[in-house]
Amino acid sequence: MWLKKLFKSEKILMINIALVCLIIGFVFGVIAFTGSGKTSGDNIVFAEDLKKSQQGIETLESIQYSFNQVAEKVLPVVVEIDVVNIVSQDVPEWGFPFDFFYGPNKEKENGDKDKEPKKQEFRKQGLGSGVIVRKSGGMVYVLTNNHVVGDADEIKVKLNDSREFMAKLIGKDERKDLALVSFETAENIPIATLGDSDKLRVGDWALAVGNPMGLESTVTAGIVSALGRRGGPGENISDFIQTDAAINPGNSGGALVNIRGHVIGINTWIASTTGTYAGYGFAIPINNAKKSIDDFIAYGKVEYGWLGVQISDPRDEILKQMGIEGKKGSMVSQVFKGSPAEKYGLLPGDYVTRVNDMDIKDTDHLMRVVGEITGSQLTRFDIIRERKNKTVSIKLSVRPEEKNIAAQNKNLWPGMIVYPITKEIKDELKLKDSNGLIILQVLDGTPAGIAGFKEGDIIQKMNNVNIGTVSDFYKNLNDKSKKELMFNLLREDTEFKIGLIR
């Protein structure tokens, strides 16, 4: 009753309403707070978040620890290689002090004109890196780049622990830019673990170890950016590993290693407009070097398999005319007479798609695969000849020295490269008739070169058979029932004939 009377009082009506509202608001506030389970605010950290943060730190520490372990394992097997070339230079004879400013006087100059100038020796120094790859008794072998040792008169190997040894060159190879040096010691020497570069994948961790810019025992980290890269200085036949681990001058010959500390490559060159690191470094895959190490020790040089052909990657027009478009491989464009290729039946125009159990990607790949095959075993070559699949088994020989290969051009058959006459060629040369094939290249000293074929000649017929495609050319070229081949040619609107004898 008292509550009812209280609300009926006009004087205190507004006060009573306010009190009721406060009580109701308080109750709902308590309910809302207890139901939410948490407070608003950005500075609240929960146990679950702390746990995740700790796990992230531990993961990073684990990666860091892996790098620590790799560095500890690899640094002792990567060495600094110091080379010295002793060069001689003529030095002028100056009389003091006036000859320095005015040159030697004429009487002295004329009197000594037949006298040999004095020479002075200078020591030209170079720096690179190397990897200790083998130890046999007291002999230690270090793999490096050919361009690091060059024609050095002195070679010194400095280990990570500052021990130094005078070394000698065992062998070097320009085709792969590899060299092997050795030094003797009875002391304990660590040896590198060589990995399997064929198992590499783009994105794998990679660490480069060497002596860039003379900074000893430097480790840089990155990933394998790409595989199978081509190019580089000189005529290197390797397919390179590309990495973004920093490589600089002085790193050459050093190790590229994986996260286990296994050597997967030999650092060789960089792509740069300044001569210093610009994000791209390249290493020779270690699997390309393993046979070379054995050959250097056994023969003092690298022995390559010799097939006896010139090979090429045909352009699309040729692939279409030969019916092999879309197929990977390499085309035999020339064959050396007396070579294993000729002896066992490989012909110009054959398209090699497979060697033993290896699918051939392109010409560079075929070159490397053949180069790795030595010995007396028969090697199976799967080919496409006149649009048909065939197999030829060949026993390779050892590749001759480059100078000896160049001297064999007279045996290189046929010695020319032909190409279809496309609309572009017809328009450029202003040809009235587009029948036949154009000779793109004639190799000096070959049968075609000696016979008088020239670049730009148009082949219209062979032994009175019209030649319309590249397939026609090779079919008639390989027809051994005819000892002599007679070519009908067009040269600058003049028709004439040239014969080739097998």
**141 contact partners, CB below 8 Å, separation of at least 6:** 132, 133, 134, 135, 170, 180, 181, 182, 293, 296, 297
Alpha-carbon separation of residue 358 from 199, 218, 391 (angstroms): 16, 38, 14
Residue 295 annotated as catalytic: no
The 8-class DSSP code of residue 249 comes to T
What is the Cα–Cα distance from 491 to 498, expressed in whole angstroms?
12
| CA neighbours closer than 13 Å in the CB half-sphere of residue 204 | 23
Catalytic annotation, pick one of 147, 173, 295, 382: 147
Asked if the peptide bond before residue 420 counts as cis, ω within 30 degrees of 0, the response is no
For residue 36, give the H/E element and its range: helix 13-36
What is the Cα–Cα distance from 492 to 3, expressed in whole angstroms?
126
What is the Cα–Cα distance from 190 to 75, expressed in whole angstroms?
10
What is the Cα–Cα distance from 210 to 144, expressed in whole angstroms?
11
Catalytic annotation, pick one of 238, 252, 292, 330: 252
**317 contact partners, CB below 8 Å, separation of at least 6:** 419, 420, 422
Residue 177 annotated as catalytic: yes
For residue 82, give the nearest of 126, 147, 140 by alpha carbon.
Answer: 126
Residue 114 annotated as catalytic: no
Catalytic annotation, pick one of 82, 129, 173, 177: 177
**105 contact partners, CB below 8 Å, separation of at least 6:** 95, 99
3-state secondary structure of 186: coil
Q: What residues are labeled active site?
A: 147, 177, 252
